[in-house]
Every structure is written in C-alpha cells, then in structure tokens.
Amino acid sequence: MRFDEYVQHDATALADLVRRGEVSPAELLDAAIARADGTRELNAIVCRLDESARTQARRAPSPQARFGGVPFLVKDLFQDIAGVPTSSGSKALARQPAPEDSDVVRRWREAGLIIFGKTNTPEFGARNVTEPTLWGPTRNPWDLHRTPGGSSGGSAAAVAAGVVPVAGANDGGGSIRIPAAACGLFGLKAGRGRISMGPLMAEGMNGAAVQGVVSRSVRDSAAMLDILQGPEPHAPYHMPVPPRPYVEAMRADTGRLRIGFTTESPVGTPVDPEAVAAVQDAATLLASLGHHVEPVPQPVNGLHLAEDFLLAWFCTQALIVDTLRDTAHATPADFENDTRLMAAVGRSVSAVELLKCEARWHEHNRALARYHAEHDLWLTPTLSAPPPAIGSMDTPWALDLLSDVVSRVGLAGRLRHSQAFQTTVRHNLAWTPYTQLANLTGRPAMSVPLHWTPAGLPLGVQFVAPLNGEALLLQLAAQLEQARPWAHQRPPL
C-alpha cells in the first residue's frame, strides 16, 4: 500500500480493509514503517519494535478484533510492554525492562493492534513540551522549528505526520489535549476512573492522570474508549460501564446544548489573538448548529487551581525521584535539572500542606459542578497561543544553575517562594493554563481541531464536560467533524 493510499484512512477504515481481505496487516505495517523511516527528523519514535511487529503481522488477526492488523504506537510513559524498557524520558529508566504489559497495552493487543514502537515524552511527562535530554526534542510536523507540545508530543507528531492514524497517549495536566491542539488532531481525555492505570499503578497523581489516545478521527477515539474503558480487578475504583458503546452513542443527536465560553487566561497571562479567534470562530459555528453559546466568567479561581495543581505535581516528582533512588539505585545525575528542582520543591511540602491542597481540589470540583448545573459544556482555547519554538520553554540558565545549588543544600522551600521561581513557573504555565481544570476535577474534556492560523499552524479549542460526559463530548465532536472536517488537513512534510 502506497503512503498516499494509507494516509487516506483512519484506523477504523484500515481495520475494515483487513477484515475484507483488501490489504494485509504486513502491507499496512510496511507502509507505517516506511513513513516512520521517512520522517525521522521529527524524532517522534524513541524505541522501534519492527521485528516483533512483523512477526505479529504475519498472523491473521481475529475477525472479531476491532482494530485487527492496524499499526500502532504507544507512549513511552505509563504504557508498559513486557520486557521492553519504559524510559519515561529519563536516563534513570532507559535500561529497565518492564515486568508486564500495562492494562491498556494488553487491551490494545487484544483489539488486534500491531505495536511497532514507543513515542517520545518529556522526563516523567512533567512538562508541556516534548524535549527530554535523553532523546532530544520532538518536532511539530507543521513546522519543524516548533514543538508539538507535550507530554504526548511524540504520539501526536507521529499521527499528524501520517505514521499511524491513532497512537497511545495519556493526560495528567493536558498531555492529550495540548499536543492534539498543536498538531491538528482530536484529543479526548476521559474522566477519572474510566480507564485503568494498572496493574503496577493504582492511579496517577491522585487520579489526575488518565490513559487514552490522540487520533485523526472522532470515531477512532470513540472506539478506543470502548476498548479501554471498564473495570480491572486491581483498580481502586471505576466509572460505571456506559449503557451503549461510545461508537454508537456518538451518533446520537446532542439536542440544543448550553455552552459557556471564555477567551481569558485563568491565571491572568496574555492570550494570543489567534487563540481568541479560535474560540470565537468555534462559538459562531456552534451557534449556527443550533446551540446556545454565551460568554461566561471563569467558573473556578484559576490562580488557586494552578497553585493546588502544581503543589501536587511537585510532590509527585519527589515521589518518583525518591522511589527510583531506592529501587533502581538512581543518582542525581540520572535526572534532568528541572526534575531535580521539582522534586526538591516537592520534598519541602509538609504532609499537612499537601493534604490541605488535596482537600481544596474538592472545592474546585464543587465550583465546576455549579457551573455545569447551568451549562452543558465549558469552551476555552486549548492553548493560549500557537505552538512555540523548540527550546523556548527552557529554564533560564541562571535559575537552572541556582536550582542545582539549592537542591543540594536543601533550600528548595525558600526557592519555591522566590520571585524567580514563581515567574518561571508562570511563564511555562502561560501557554497551557486551561487544561489542568479537567485533570484536577476528574472531568472529561476534549480538544477539537477547528482552527488553523494564517501561518498554517493548528490551534484547537477545548470543551470540558460534567461527570460521565464522555458520550456528550463525542456526540458534539462528531457533529463538529461533519460541519468542519479536518482529516484532509495535512502538514507539509
């Protein structure tokens, strides 16, 4: 199969071709591998599994397999393949084989997907750009000088470039929606408890992190959610199974939705005119489809939410670093400076302070619930600006040097309250101030690729739904996909 034929199909269509005998899994895998080889400048894939994939592709998939014979990539973070290292973008884990498959990987295999590689991610997924020291930066197919975002930047770059139609991703602060918005893809973050993080993990960052995919089509994401959702015996909790499959539910009419929107940053930072235009254009489109759309003030105190999110985030980095120090004999040299700084800041947080922070998460949840009592969905930009240049999010060298010293002498608590540290954190959060709300509250959310800038860069918009609102999001996304198709939009690569 030629690339120009291969890229015309989403994963659902490719699986149908295999099922009808019009193409073989081996032919699809050859097309995917050839495209991966031809787009190495993206640095999207950091681990290749071509031989094991070819072995699988020689076996006929089960006729019942939803995605039998379709090539697939998983993210090199929280998506373990037994016997293969999950580096998580870190030198500390680059040579540690995973003991068993993650639940999501097992389910993808059962669905017939052929996994031939793992995609790039920042160290421990802790940044909103994919530029780990270990593997180097991933580049955006729409502009090689810009980032595809993070932390699922490798997966998003690969899908946008046509290597695969859908790829594994996960989202702890926007890491599905951010790269989807930056790469012109559809990205759905499921609600808390919908998809297992196991078996080795109970939950990610108190339930803020969830598994999922980035895709070119809404129906692929719906089918993937059908595959991944549902209880596991080791999961600490789970959401109830939906009354009908998401691929069926997405075809239902939404009715007239009440949608509130804003273009203002919840943390008071500047918003690029293109991000404003993306939301205003989406609001106009929604109104033309019969929905009630109106500007609404921020439903949650954005500054307080950001502070509470980051405090827990830093503590999570401390847990990761200290665990690897104890179990994998990692040394400070095995971690990036930014990671060491975040971990040091996390260690400076007392147990009582963290518990108070987590208690405040519920207050943010209640505030969003009050909003959803009056509106079906919340609409914002996904990003405050088009994707920035590679390296533009780097920590300033002076703070980088200071943080190394501070971490070693145990003064991270003071640094946490310093103007330089807070300015740097605010600068990095300014590009992605909208996405953490859904993670902290555990609500489903999605980024939809409805806008491209005059320079040809994608810039998605975000919708946040109430509890158990995945079906509603998919229904609206399918409606928007039909009204404003995006699958034909291809990067000049």
d(C-alpha 252, C-alpha 219), whole Å = 13
Angle at 485 between CA 481 and CA 489, to 5 degrees: 135
The backbone torsions φ and ψ at residue 73, rounded to the nearest 5 degrees and listed phi first, read: -125, 140
Which of the residues 75, 215, 265, 403 is marked catalytic?
Answer: 75
Tell me whether residue 418 is one of the annotated catalytic residues: no
Catalytic one of 90, 102, 152, 175: 175
Angle at 335 between CA 329 and CA 339, to 5 degrees: 125
**Residues 6+ away with beta carbon under 8 Å from 219:** 10, 12, 247, 250, 478
Q: How far apart are CA 282 and CA 159, in angstroms?
A: 24
Catalytic-residue membership of 151: yes
Residue 75 among the catalytic residues: yes
Q: Catalytic: which of 151, 265, 348, 407?
A: 151
**CB-based contact 189:206 (threshold 8 Å):** no
Angle at CA of residue 61, ends 211 and 229, nearest 5°? 25
Residues 6+ apart with CB under 8 A from 2: 31
Name the region of 125 (left: φ>0; alpha: ψ -120 to 50; beta: rest). Answer: left
Q: Within 10 Å of residue 355's Cβ, how many Cβ atoms?
A: 10
* Phi and psi at residue 215, to the nearest 5°: -145, 170
Point out the residues that are catalytic: 75, 151, 175
